[in-house]
Chains A and B, each alone.
Chain A
Amino acid sequence: MKRRMVSTLLCLTMAAGLAAGCSSKDSGNSSGGSSSSGGGESAGGKESVVIWDYFETDAQKNMMQDMIDGFNESQDKYEASHVYVPFADYEKQLTLGMASGELPDLVILDGCGMASFIEMDLFGDVSDANISWDEYMEGPMSSTMADGKHYGIPFATNCTALFYNKDIFDAAQMEYPDENTTWEDFRKMAKALTKDGVTGFGNAATGTDEGTFQCLQWLYTAGGDYQNIGDGVDAYNLMQEMVAEGSWSKDCVNWTLSDANNNFVAGNLAMQQNGPWQIPGIEKDAPDLNYGVTVLPKKDADSGQATSILGGENMGAVKQDDMSGAIAFMEYYDQTDVMVECMKQYGSFPPKTEAAQDSYWTDDPIQKAFIQQLDTSIPRGPSASWPAYSDAIQTGFQEVMTSAKTPDKAATDTQAAVDKVKEGEK
């Protein structure tokens, strides 16, 4: 009898392992609170300001440390420090943190995820902070706001553009792509360069938002947007045809941004779509790589510059009784010179229009291409339902790239999925 009971219990534990793992989110009492961890006092009688980030490269870590040192020296009321949380777990940890109350004072997070967390009441209103709101670019700024209130500030902004390997183009005696390159030219280039183990083009089309971040711009450039898939069906046609020709790597379906970049650096790709944060890594690991960057190809000769999707991070102030530490830190970062120094180390652009015009970026031909691309970059969403939109949209791209559906069929089905998400928006 006893053994029976013990074995029953043991077996239940095993079976419950997963269900329990997914269930630790407490549904009801998690709102608003989270003041438990913030505003603690550190050794020197200063109030501590804890920041979460997911920065992994040495350059990013140094940037973070320099910024924190700078803040700590600039005043004697607060003592800032930061905690690394892996990117893959980031949103899960924030969600669990809201349930358990273990949260920092300030969160640096992916811009497109912020709307969801504002809706979930993670962030507090900081509209009264002494921050020069008018100086920020509109796209990044809108991702930190809801109902006209500010919940943080943009931290870094960037977008993706077209990288090309000059040596591969030179060997084939072909002209480099530039701002006049159309989809038709781009397709011809990619096809001509696909030989001897080199694929013409590749990007990140993995089944997560990382893939959406790279694929969505093709839809916008074709004339669609995240709620109107059908208008961008030309993008689906281009993708499916190029993948069928072998000039757009089919492996992209499983590629992340770093996978695409590694293949570009290794010489497997003649062209890739990627962002400026890859530049420090390329300079370090492959200093001899002879490459250039230009804006993404435009639809046809008559259309304007291609759209790109804004990436980058925001700083959000966690809602709690005393948010003064988080606000003080954001006010420190709001100073243009601080922001510019940080972004030079970080490999992205400051989210203030004027700060991005620093000669550090405008004098460098590669950085300049990104500044030019930023002009026609748009944010994802913003919508609290963005993750659901992103999932629906990326499924469409994957269906097209793997030829699981024809472009028209994929467009119809994706539109239906997107409409359903739209219905669920409140």
Chain B
Amino acid sequence: MKKKNHISTKAGFLFALPAAIYMLVFVGYPMIQNFILSFKNVDVYTFADSTKQTFVGLSNYTELFAGEDAILSTAIINTLIFTVVSIFFQFFIGFGLALLFNKKFKGSAFFRGVTMISWLLPVTVAGLLFKFMFASKGGIINQLFMSLHLIDAPLEWLLEPKLAMAAIVVANIWIGIPFNMMLLITGLTTIPEEIYESSKLDGANKLQTLFQITIPMIRPAIMSVLTLGFIYTFKVFDLVWVMTKGGPINATELVSTYAYKLSFEQFQFSKGAAAANILFLILFVVGIFYIKLINDEEEVM
């Protein structure tokens, strides 16, 4: 019995080997390179001549955080605001839609499919559409608000720092809702119909059913949606790049756009790598949390 178990563990490692090799080559190697790069002084002047490249310790990191015109802290705060607000609305709207489309009514499958469009659309295209919609002159959002008398004068959506952040968050919420909805619907379908029937017999009302049965039953799905959502929202790039490029004046600068600007616009490769590593570290912590969560769920099961 014990021996058999041993063999299956060995076989298990064998099966995981190709994946592990793949990860080492395509994820591990660039990551390590990136870490090394972030401790050097590679920029436009030292790029070509490796003799001029030296290790500078943590100075790239300290400059990013404490330098005179350091905007990394701003970028991290912006990214956090962007992520938390996006996920909050994505989740609640997605959950509402999931509950709705989990009901079998005429056309429910069709409409569920239609809501997926915003997830299927390339993010760049969605970004451009929202850029047009939020235009301060002739943008449909201003026209709508004006005709509803919510505002007297057109708002300068992408020009005022706070409104620009609101605009990219709205665009991101719209894109992310279907992802939340689909994962939650999948969770909902795992709840056996009998449980609802028996709770009905016990006299539970709709709210009680929701809070006592539905939500506890799909807790794993909810936690996955939230952590995965956090990770992919935190590293969003294309949407913001298309809509504001981090502007106006860094109001929507995220860690990802800042890292890109440093590396590929200003050729400050080491600093860009350092900024990307900060992003990685934050997500790594979230990732650990997610793994712990999955394992806890497994133990419960």
Chain A interface residues toward B at CB < 8 A: 1-9, 11-32, 91-92, 95, 98, 116, 119-121, 197, 206-209, 249-251, 253-254, 268, 384-385, 387-388, 391, 395, 398-399, 402, 404, 416-417, 420, 426
Instruction: Say whether, besides A6-B16, A23-B273, A25-B269, A402 and B48 are in contact (CB < 8 Å).
Output: no
Asked whether, in the complex, the Cβ of B283 is within 8 Å of the Cβ of A5, the reply is no
A19 touches B34 (CB 8 A): yes
Output the least CB separation between B156 and chain A (Å).
Answer: 6
How close is B232's CB to chain A, nearest CB, in angstroms?
Answer: 8
When C-beta atoms are compared, the residue in chain B nearest to A98 turns out to be B47
| CB interface residues, B 1-49, toward A, < 8 Å | 9, 12-13, 16, 19-20, 23, 26-27, 30-31, 33-34, 36-37, 40, 42, 44-45, 47-49
Q: Is the CB of B247 within 8 A of A398?
A: yes
What mask results when residues 118 to 152 of chain B are scored 1 for a CB within 8 Å of chain A, else 0?
Answer: 00000000000001000111000000000000000
Establish whether residues B259 and A253, one from each chain, have CB atoms under 8 Å apart when the complex forms. no
Of the candidates A19, A119, A388, the one whose C-beta lies within 8 Å of that of B48 is A119
Q: Is B181 an interface residue (CB 8 A)?
A: no
Q: Which of B89-97, B212-220, B291-299 contacts A (4 or more CB under 8 A)?
A: B291-299
A121 surroundings in chain B (CB, below 8 A): 47-49
**Contact count band on B:** 35 or more
Contacts of B277 in A (CB 8 A): 19
B159 touches A19 (CB 8 A): no
B61 on interface, CB distance cutoff 8 Å: no
Is chain A's interface secondary structure helix, strand, loop, or mixed overall?
Answer: helix
Please, which residues of chain A bring their CB within 8 A of the CB of B31? Answer: 16, 19-20, 23
> B266-282 toward A: CB 8 Å interface, digit per residue (1/0)?
11111011001101100
Q: Is the CB of A254 within 8 A of B158?
A: yes
Q: Give the residue of A14, A91, A420 whose beta carbon is less than 8 angstroms from that of B287.
A: A14
Q: Once the chains bind, are B244 and A27 in contact (CB under 8 Å)? A: no
Name 9 extra pairs, CB < 8 A, besides A14-B228, A121-B48, A253-B158.
A7-B291, A18-B280, A22-B34, A23-B30, A27-B37, A91-B264, A116-B267, A254-B159, A268-B137
Q: Are B44 and A385 in contact (CB under 8 A)?
A: yes
Residue of B nearest to A20 (CB): B30
Interface residue? B81 (CB, 8 A): no
Which residues in A have their C-beta under 8 angstroms from that of B44? 116, 119-120, 384-385, 387
Q: How near does chain B come to A297, taking the closest CB pair, in angstroms?
A: 24
A209 CB contacts on chain B under 8 angstroms: 265
Query: With A120-B267, A250-B136, A387-B265 in contact, is A207–B30 under 8 Å at CB?
Result: no
B8 nearest in chain A by CB position: A2
Asked whether, in the complex, the Cβ of B279 is within 8 Å of the Cβ of A92, the reply is no
Q: Does B53 contact A (CB under 8 A)?
A: yes
Whether B263 is near chain A, meaning CB under 8 Å from some CB there, is: yes
Which among A6, A7, A21, A120 is the interface contact of B47 at CB below 8 angstroms? A120
Q: Which residues of A contact B187 (CB under 8 A)?
A: none
Known: A120-B44, A395-B249, A404-B249. A24 touches B30 (CB 8 A): yes
- Contact status A22-B246, CB under 8 Å: no
Q: Mask for B240-251, Cβ within 8 A of A = 1, else 0?
A: 000011111110
